[in-house]
């Protein structure tokens, strides 16, 4: 769904500019709602500095893996590039998911042995064998032996080199990434507010000014703004935005995958008129807009 905006002034820096398309809920989290509210510079700052590693948030990682059967494509995209821990007979190892496969992180252990993905290990092994100055046929034999080695059995390749090809039987997200920057939900809430305020979003009300400053990298003015991070009871394949209340002041609630919730308090701002609800069903990819009761 695309939100149509008639003005040509960026809602953050208030400069006249060519406004660029962006996602209200980050595309990296499966967000579909797009708008043209921001100049290229504000858009790029928020996209890189604030939302760049949104999917590394441990709760988002956990929800992605919990909802994988309902939203397989998004779950796969959320895992991609993220740290995971493999489980197998060799114990737990840290690595990353790359194109749907677990790639163990190269590591040198205290006993001098190396842990590497098989493809990298093959190259390392060739280098080590070359250093051992084996004759060419012995080198080929050793590489061949490594190639056909069964999993989980230690084999001796030369007098000095042993190898084990550990299999894994699963992996889980490492869940140690950074939490989503609170400025990210503030941005989503502010853009959602723009739909209710139209060009009044440009006003110089202290709360709106404080929001624009925070969205440009200034510290958040806690007398005007508060971002609460909450947990709703149930994980669901749904993203949502809701203008929760406009009295005594405005609160916008953001739900990511049903469960990760943010409540953004615009503590001195009151917004009249109807309040909107936006939902995006991630399983069917349908979007809905309704009016809050």
Q: How far apart are the C-alpha atoms of 22 and 2, rounded to whole Å?
A: 10
**Site size for Zn ion, by CB under 5 A?**
5
Sequence-separated (6 or more) residues with CB below 8 Å from residue 129: 139, 142, 143, 157, 158, 161
Residue 138 near Zn ion by CB under 5 A: no
With contacts defined by CB under 5 A, name the span among 19-27, 36-44, 145-153, 267-275 that binds Zn ion.
Answer: 36-44
Pick between residue 10 and residue 50 the one whose CB is nearest to Zn ion. Answer: 10
- Residue number, 36 or 236, with CB nearest to Zn ion: 36
Segment contacting Zn ion (CB under 5 A): 35-43, 117-125, 202-210, 278-286? 35-43
> Which of 10, 193, 264, 282 lies at the binding interface for Zn ion (CB under 5 A)?
10
From CA 14, how far away is CA 211, in angstroms rounded? 12
71-106 residues labelled b (16+ CB within 10 A) or e (exposed): beebbebbbeebbbbbebebeebebbbeeeebbbee
- Residue 48's nearest CA partner among 33, 21, 28, 77 is 28
Collapsing DSSP states into helix, strand and coil, what is residue 81? coil
Q: Which stretch binds Zn ion (CB under 5 A): 34-42, 83-91, 149-157, 219-227?
A: 34-42
Does 215 bind Zn ion (CB under 5 A)? Our answer is no
For Zn ion, the closer of residues 42 and 67 by Cβ is 42
Min dist CB 12 to Zn ion, Å, is 5
Strand (E) or helix (H) holding 211:
helix 206-215
Per-residue mark of binding to Zn ion, 37-56 (x: CB under 5 A): --x--x--------------
* Subset of residues 13 to 32 that bind Zn ion, contact rule: CB under 5 A: 13
Q: How far is the CB of 15 from Zn ion (least distance, A)?
A: 5
DSSP secondary structure letter of residue 190: H
Rounded to whole angstroms, how far apart are CA atoms 26 and 106?
A: 31
Q: Which residues bind Zn ion (CB under 5 A)?
A: 10, 12-13, 39, 42
């Amino acid at each position: 769904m695309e939100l149509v905006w008639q003005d040509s002034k960026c809602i953050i820096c208030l400069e006249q500019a060519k406004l660029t398309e962006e996602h209200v809920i980050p595309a990296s989290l499966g967000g579909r709602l797009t708008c043209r509210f921001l100049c290229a510079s504000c858009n790029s700052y928020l996209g890189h500095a604030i939302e760049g590693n949104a999917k590394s948030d441990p709760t988002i990682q956990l929800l992605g893996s919990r909802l994988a059967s309902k939203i397989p494509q998004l779950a796969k995209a959320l895992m991609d590039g993220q740290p995971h821990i493999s489980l197998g007979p060799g114990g737990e190892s840290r690595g990353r998911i790359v194109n749907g496969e677990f790639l163990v992180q190269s590591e040198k252990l205290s006993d001098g042995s190396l842990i590497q993905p098989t493809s990298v290990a093959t190259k390392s092994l060739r280098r080590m064998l070359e250093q051992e100055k084996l004759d060419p046929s012995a080198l080929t034999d050793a590489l061949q032996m490594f190639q056909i080695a069964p999993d989980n059995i230690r084999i001796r390749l030369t007098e000095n080199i042993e190898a084990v090809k550990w299999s894994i039987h699963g992996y889980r997200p490492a869940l140690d990434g950074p939490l989503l920057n609170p400025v990210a939900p503030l941005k989503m809430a502010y853009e959602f507010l723009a739909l209710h305020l139209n060009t009044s979003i440009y006003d110089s009300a202290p709360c709106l000014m404080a929001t624009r400053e925070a969205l440009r990298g200034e510290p958040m003015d806690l007398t005007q703004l508060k971002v609460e991070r909450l947990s709703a009871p149930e994980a669901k394949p749904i993203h949502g935005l809701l203008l929760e209340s406009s009295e005594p002041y405005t609160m916008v609630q953001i739900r990511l995958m049903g469960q990760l919730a943010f409540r953004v308090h615009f503590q001195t701002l009151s917004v009249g008129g109807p309040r909107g609800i936006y939902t995006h069903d991630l399983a069917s990819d349908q979007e809905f807009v309704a009016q809050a009761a």
